[in-house]
Chains A and B, each alone.
Chain A
Amino acid sequence: MSFLIPEKDWFKAPDKGERNWIAIGIVWCLIMSVMMPYWHVAGKQNSRGESYKVKPEDFSARVQKFVETNSVGKLGNIPIVQPNPGGHAYLMGGGYIWYPILKLKQGQKYTLHISSTDYQHGFSVQPINMNFQILPGYDHVLEITPTSTGEFNIVCNEFCGARHHVMTGKIIVE
C-alpha cells in the first residue's frame, strides 16, 4: 500500500524493468536536449531574444521616420512601407493596430524591429503561424526572411485590452 508506512528495507536498487525504462527516458531527454542547439546550427527558425531597451516615444519616432522615408502607398489611411532588402524595418504594436503595413521581397533578409507603445502584444503572422512576444520598453529584433509570397495577416495573440481582438496588421510579400 502506498499510503502505509513502507517496510524497513525499502531503499534498494531498481530492478531490471524500471532500470531499462529510466535509461530509455534519459536517452530520450538527451536527444531532446541536443535538438535545440542543433537547430541553432542547422535550422532556419530560431528565437534568440535579441532586444534593446527603448522608450515607447523613441520607438514611435523611429517608426515615423521609417514610414516617411520608405512609404510606397496607402491601404485606407494606413501607410504601406517598403524597406530596402537587407535593411531595417520597424513595426509598432499599440492602440489596437500593428503599424505600418510592410511590403517585403521574397528571399530577402530584413532586420525587423518590433515594440509596443502600450501593453504586451503577441506578434502572430498568419496563416504561416509564426509567433513572438512583444513588450513595451523592449525593441525585439528579428532577422526575418520571407520564403513565400502573398498577403500575410498579423493578429495580436496576447490580451491587450478591451478591443484586443480587432488588433491586426499586414505584411505583403512579393
Chain B
Amino acid sequence: MSAIPGFLKGNFRSNESRTCDTTGLPVCNTASLFIQLHAVFAVVFLLVGAVAAILLALTRWPAVHLLPADWFYRVLTLHGVNMLLFWIIFLEVAIVYFASTSLLNSRLFSKGLAWAGFLLMVIGAVLVDYIILIGGADVLFTSYYPLPGHPFFYLGLILFAVGALLAMINFLLTLHIAKRDKTYEGSVPLVVFGATAAVIIAVLTIATGAAILIPTLLWAAGIVDIIDAGIYRVVWWGMGHVSQQINVTAMVSVWYFMFSLTTGAKPLNHAVCRGAFVLYILFINLASAHHLLVDPGVSTAWSIWNTSYAMYLAVLASMIHGFTVPAALEIAMRKKGYRQGVFGWLTNAPWGNPGFSSIFMSLVIFGFIGGITGVTIGTEQINIIVHNTLKLPAHFHGTVVGGTTLAFTGLAYYVVPLIFRREYYMKGLAKIQPYIFVVGILIVILGMQFAGSTGVPRRHWDVSFAGSPIPIPKMESGWLALVGVGGVIAFTGLLIFILLTVATVFFGRSNKGKPMESWGDVKDVSASAGAWTKEDEHKTPGTWALVSILLVSFVVYYFSNWKALADVWWVR
C-alpha cells in the first residue's frame, strides 16, 4: 500500500517496481526502462535536429550563406522531420508511459509491445535520416506531391508511425489494466487525462498519416498513380498539423505536472481544465484547414467553417489553459505566503530552478507569440499576406520550439534525477541554460517575423535571386541576420542542455536510495503572511493582469494584420 491519496494496491509483479525516493510515487521498472530508452533517443534526434538548425540559420544569414543550395534543402528536410516528429514523439512516448504507470499505480501493460514499438520507431527514424542524408528525399518535411522522394523515405515514416501507434496502444491498455485491477479509486489525475487526450489525437494523426503515406509510398515505388496535388495537401495536413496538436496537448499536461512538482500548484477547477482538453480532441484536427486558406479548390465556406467554428473552439481551450495554469501557480505561491502586490507570487517563484523557469517561459512564449500569431495568420484573408513567408516559421518556432521543446527540456531536469537516478553535472550552468535558449529563440522568431512581414519567403536558399531567368532585385532584409545571430545563441543553449543531459545520463553521480537534490524549493513563509481564507482560494489578480495583457496584445496584433491586408491589391 502506498501513502499516495487515491492509490489502492498496485498491480505490480514481484520485483517489478520501486518507490520513488523523492515523490513517493511507484515506479514500474519496465516502464522506467522504456522511459529511459525513449528519452535517450529523443535527445539523440534533438541533437540531429539542432545541428541541422544551426546550419540552416547560418545559411539564411546572408553574410554567411554557409551551405550550398542542395544541402540547404536536404538539411531543411532533416531539421523538420527530426524536430517535429522524432524528438518530440520519442519524448511523448516516455511521457505517456510515465503517466499511465507511476500516476496510476500500475505496471506497464506489455514489455513485448513496448519493445516492438520502440524498435520500429528507431528503425523508421534511422531509415528516414539515412535516406535524407544520401540525397534520396530532398522533398522537405511536407514532401508535397509530386516532388519525388525515395520509397524508403515514406516507408521509414510509416514504420516510425506504426511504432508510435504500438506505444499508444500500450498506453491505452495500461489505462485499462489499472482500471481493471483497481490500482486507484476515483478519477484519473489531470495529467493522465491530458496525456490520454494527447494519445487520442495521436491515434487520429497516425490514421490520417496512413491514409496519405501509404498511397504516396505506392506512388513513389511506381505501383500506382492515384494522387492529386490538392487532395494530398488536405490529407497530409490532417497528419502534419494534427501531429503538432499532440505536442500542444502533451505540453499543456507537462505545464500542469511541472508547476505541481516545483511549486505544489493544483488546478482551481478540474472540470474546466478537463473540458478544455476535450475541446482539443473534438476541434483541433479540423483546424488543419488553416494550411489551405490560399489553395485552389477549397471553398470559402469550407475554409471559414473549419477555421472559425473548429479552430476557435480549440483556441478557446488554449485560452482556458492560459488562465488556469498561471492561476494554479499564483494560488499555490500566495498560499505559501507570497502575497505582496499583484506580482509578488511571480517575482518570488523559483527562477533558478530550470524545471520551473523553462515551463513558465514556455507558457509565455506559447501564448504570447505562438498562439497570437498562429490564430491571426490562420485567418482566411490575412493568410494572403502571410502564406509561405518567414512569418509562418516565426509562428511555429513560438509553438513547437519556445513552447513544446522548452517545456520538454524543462521536464528533463526532473526526468533524469528521478527516473535515471543521476544528479546533473554543472547545476549552475543548467540553471542558466533555459535563459540562453530563450534569448536565442526569441531573436530567431523576431528576425523571421519581421523578415516575413517584408515578404521574405520561407524554405528559400537565396533571396538575392542570382541567376534567375527574369532578374529581380534582391531582398534587402537585415532581419535575416537576426535569424543567424539568434540561431547561434539558441543552438548554444540547446547544446548545453544536450551535453549536460547526455553526460549526466551516462556518467552522472547516482542518487539511488535518496531523494534528488533540490533545484531550489519555494520556502513556505505563510506563517508570517496572515490568515488564508477560503476566499483567497480564488483570488488571482496577477493572472488577470497577465491574461489582460495577452488579450490586448492579441487584439492589437490581429487588427493590425487586417490593416496590413487592406493595403494590398484587390483580389477575389
Contacts and interface: CB of A to CB of B under 8 A. Distances in A.
Identify which of A3, A120, A139 gathers the most chain B CB atoms within 10 Å of its CB: A3
Interface string A47-76: 111110000000000000000000000011
Given A47-B381, A134-B296, A164-B461, A25 B319 contact: yes
Interface in B343-396: 375, 379-381, 383-389
B11 to A, nearest CB: 16
B260 A3 contact: yes
B189 A6 contact: yes
A96 B469 CA distance: 8
Interface in A88-133: 96-98, 101, 109, 118-120, 122, 124-133
A157 B457 contact: yes
Nearest to A151: B472
Given A21-B320, A48-B299, A35 B459 contact: no
B229 A136 contact: yes
B569 A146 contact: yes
B187 A132 contact: no
- Taking chain A's interface residues, is the majority helix, strand, or loop, or is none over half, making it mixed? mixed
B389 A157 contact: yes
Contacts of B521: none
Contacts of A6: 6, 186-187, 189-190, 270
Contacts of A160: 147
Given A12-B271, A36-B380, A166 B138 contact: no
Contacts of A129: 385, 389, 453-455, 568
Interface string A136-174: 111111111111100001011111111111111110000
A17 B544 contact: yes
A167 B468 contact: yes
B203 interface: no
Interface in B437-484: 453-455, 457-463, 465-473, 475
Interface in A29-51: 29, 32-33, 35-37, 39-40, 43-51
B252 to A, nearest CB: 11
B267 interface: yes
A36 B299 contact: no
B296 A126 contact: no
A6 B194 CA distance: 14
Contacts of B572: 44-46, 48, 142-143
Given A32-B379, A124-B388, A143-B571, A78 B469 contact: yes
Interface in A1-28: 1-8, 10-18, 21-22, 24-26, 28
Contacts of A37: 304
Interface stretch (B167-175, B307-315, B416-424): B307-315
Given A4-B189, A137-B228, A143-B571, A158 B388 contact: yes
B323 A5 contact: no
23 contacts: A2-B191, A2-B260, A3-B256, A5-B4, A5-B5, A18-B324, A26-B316, A45-B568, A45-B570, A49-B296, A120-B144, A131-B389, A132-B387, A138-B229, A141-B296, A142-B571, A143-B571, A144-B569, A155-B455, A155-B457, A159-B73, A164-B461, A166-B462
Interface of B: 4-7, 69-70, 73, 103, 138-140, 144-147, 184-192, 228-230, 233, 256-257, 259-261, 264-273, 292-300, 302-304, 307-309, 312-313, 315-316, 319-320, 323-324, 327-328, 375, 379-381, 383-389, 453-455, 457-463, 465-473, 475, 538, 540, 544, 547, 551, 554-555, 558, 562, 565-572
Interface of A: 1-8, 10-18, 21-22, 24-26, 28-29, 32-33, 35-37, 39-40, 43-51, 75-76, 78, 96-98, 101, 109, 118-120, 122, 124-148, 153, 155-170
Given A4-B6, A46-B381, A155-B455, 12 more contacts: A12-B271, A14-B272, A15-B268, A33-B308, A44-B571, A45-B384, A129-B568, A133-B295, A142-B571, A166-B465, A166-B468, A168-B470
